[in-house]
Amino acid sequence: MSITIKEVEHVANLARLQLSEQEQEKFTGQLNSILHLAEKINELSTDDVEPTSHVLDIKNVMRKDEVVPSLPREEALRNAPSNEDGHFKVPPIIE
């Protein structure tokens, strides 16, 4: 299977990346090489194998339902590139 420049453009859009034409071309070649390497896993039959998404036998962690102090709002907003009236500020979504 090989990935086309059109697919690279589509994946970039999904990944919220804007690639220049030069980058699209470069990534098409490189992604093909990486995916070619990845194809190696198809040499193995894994029909009866369970996937391992996590090496530990983990359970959901629930804290006690108690009111505890959280990060103050001004602290949470301090690193934001733009904020106003206690909110993160972003460009308009609708006109």
Partner 1 sequence: MSILENSISQIHSLLKNKEIKVSELVQESFGRIEATDNKVQAFLALNQEKAPKRAQQIEQEITELEDAEDLPILAGIPAGIKDNICTMGMPTTCGSRILEGYIPPYSATVMKRLHAAGAVPMGKLNMDEFAMGSSTENSAYQITRNPWNLDYVPGGSSGGSAASVAAGQVVFALGSDTGGSIRQPAAYCGVVGLKPTYGLVSRFGLVAYASSLDQIGPLTRNVEDTADVLQAIAGYDEQDSTSADVTVPNYRDALTGDIKGLKIAVAKEYMGEGIDPQVRAVIQKAIDQLAALGAEIEEVSLPHTEYALASYYLIAPAEASSNLARYDGVKYGIRADGAKDLLDMYKKTRSQGFGEEVKRRIMVGTYALSSGYYDAYYLKAQKVRTLIKQDFDKVFEKYDLIVGPTAPTTAFKIGEKTADPLTMYLNDICTIPINLAGLPAISIPCGFVDGLPVGLQLIGKAFAESTILQASYAYEQATQFYKQRPVL
Q: Is 68 in the site for partner 1 (CB under 8 A)?
A: no
Q: Is 2 in the site for partner 1 (CB under 8 A)?
A: no
How far, in Å, CA of 28 to CA of 22, rounded?
A: 10
Instruction: State both tokens at 75.
Output: 């602290």
Shortest distance in whole angstroms from residue 43 CB to partner 1: 8
Instruction: State both tokens at 67.
Output: 């009111």
Q: Is 38 in the site for partner 1 (CB under 8 A)?
A: yes
Give the residue among 20, 24, 29 at the shortest CA–CA distance from 2. Answer: 29
Contact 35, 3 (CB under 8 A): yes
In the complex, the residues that contact partner 1 under the rule CB under 8 A are: 3, 7-8, 11-12, 14-19, 23, 27, 30-31, 33-35, 37-44, 46, 49-56, 58, 60-61, 63, 71, 75-76, 78-82, 88, 90-93
